[in-house]
Amino acid sequence: MQLYGTYTSPYVRHCRIALAETGQDYELIETDYAQSARLAPAKRVPFLKAGDLVLNDSLSILKFIRESARRAFLPDVEDCDLFALTNTALDTAINLFLLEKDGLGPAQSGYLARQAARVHDILEALEGRAGALPAKTDRFTDGELRLGCFLDWALFRERITLTEHIELAAFLERMKEYPCFANTPPRVT
């Protein structure tokens, strides 16, 4: 099994965590923007090759990883919603990050200002949810893992601060005690 991606991608990180949790062997093939544009129809990472099977999104990759290990993927609606809401913030934050590299930001576009507000509002909603999450340091759900990957990436890329989000900060600190999460931090290679 080959997972194409980067060490900085929060989507790739989530897949790497799931692979570590399920004990599946894989090869991470570092892939840049040009390579992903050439090799994947979605023109992004991650994508996965397992024999003749090619998957082009972290959602389908995670489903494949979990189900091939006979584990459930997003089995309850609340965790599915946490995953989806977090994913919306993550997609939006990454798009804003990439557009800012090209000199486009919320100050230049009403649409981008609304997208920045979207990330802010989702963080507020997630702050409310984080206080209700169980205080644990292992066996996280995929919704919780996606939240941890988003928060750690957004801090790494200086997209957010958690000074006003005490519950999210506490949640992330608990996640950092989980070996599968702690061993996969975002980093530039």
Q: What residue segments make up the domains of the chain, in order of their start? A: 2-68, 77-182
What is d(CA 189, CA 40) in angstroms, rounded to the nearest whole number?
Answer: 22
What's the rounded Cα separation, in Å, for the pair 59 and 172?
Answer: 22
Query: By the 8 A CB rule, do 112 and 146 touch?
Result: no
* pLDDT for 33 beyond 90: no
For the chain, give the percent of residues with pLDDT over 70.
100
pLDDT digits (tens, 9 = 90+) for 67-115: 999 999 999 999 999 999 999 999 999 999 999 999 999 999 999 999 9
Burial class (CB in 10 A: 0-12, 13-18, 19+), 46: buried
Nearest residue to 50 (alpha-carbon basis) of 81, 26, 75 = 26
pLDDT surpassing 90 at residue 28: yes
Class of domain 2-68 as given by CATH: alpha beta
CATH tag for 77-182 (out of 1.20.1050.10, 2.102.10.10, 3.50.50.60, 1.20.1050.140)? 1.20.1050.10
Residue identified by tokens 């090209």 is 102
Which of 12-45 are b and which e, b meaning 16 or more Cβ less than 10 Å from the residue's Cβ? bbbbbbbbebeeeebebeebeeeebeeebeeebb
Fold match flag (2-68 vs 77-182):
no
CA triplet 18, 128, 161: central angle to 5 degrees? 75
117-143: pLDDT as tens digits: 999 999 999 999 999 998 888 889 999
Task: Name the pTM for this structure.
Answer: 0.97
